Amino acid sequence: MIRVLLVSEMGLVSNLIASVLEDEADIDVVGQTTSPEAALDELAEADVALVSTRLRENGALRFTQGTAERDDSVKVLVIGLRESEQEILKYVEAGADGYVLRDNSVGTLLEKVRAADQGEALVSPDIAYALISRLTELAQLFSRVETGLDEPVDLTPREQEVLDLVGQGLTNQQIADRLYIEVGTVKNHVHSILQKLDVNSREDAAAYLALIR
């Protein structure tokens, strides 16, 4: 029996998905919640967690990261994504084991739940290529850090704060709100961070942060 935990922004949406899953003889919905934090406390009961990208304040990303840190035996499927390489890679790097696109069928949802439970990921050829390319980039970044080719990076205290929030998946606007500064100031800090780390994107900066910790 595959034990599924549902984390969605609306109880009604969660109920609809649950009714579909419960019709399957090999799937049991063990929990439903609208709170990513509450869901993390229920991980012990689940084999697969379905989390909606519509959760507020990057709730899906925070839940995915929290699951990877707390119990990596639970497989996370992110539901409601567009077929965007950047978006999918963001969740995969956070620890997601798969994804269900917003226009996928119920049959695809069931197929991916079963695949995740078996430790498999069903992705399109384009996304598979993007994942391989990203792994290569991360391997090169790891090699730089591991071999000591990078000099210690001298970030200001504010830049370190911004980098930590970038690593949590927050947008520039969300970082500005959190730190009570202007969005333009956040953009300047991010630009400076990328230059100092010698990386090309926010995702690389977040990956760098993860590697040096």
- Give pLDDT tens digits along the chain (213 positions): 999 999 998 888 889 999 999 999 999 999 999 999 999 999 999 999 999 999 988 899 889 989 988 888 999 999 998 877 778 878 887 888 888 888 889 998 999 999 999 888 766 656 665 665 666 666 655 665 555 545 557 788 898 889 888 887 788 888 999 889 998 899 998 888 888 887 777 877 777 776 665
- Give the pTM: 0.66
Q: What is the DSSP letter of 27?
A: E
Give the domain ranges of the chain. 2-123, 151-212
Of 104, 90, 164, 110, nearest to 2 (Cα)?
A: 110
pLDDT of residue 210: 65
Q: Do strands 48-52 and 98-101 pair parallel, antiparallel, or not at all (unpaired)?
A: unpaired
Which fold would CATH assign to domain 2-123? Rossmann fold (3.40.50)
Q: Which residues pair with 7 in a beta bridge?
A: 33, 51
User: Residues for the chain: how many in total?
Assistant: 213
CATH of domain 151-212: 1.10.10.10
Q: How far is CA 26 from CA 68, 98, 111, in A?
A: 25, 19, 12
Instruction: In whole angstroms, give the CA distance from residue 127 to residue 83.
Output: 8
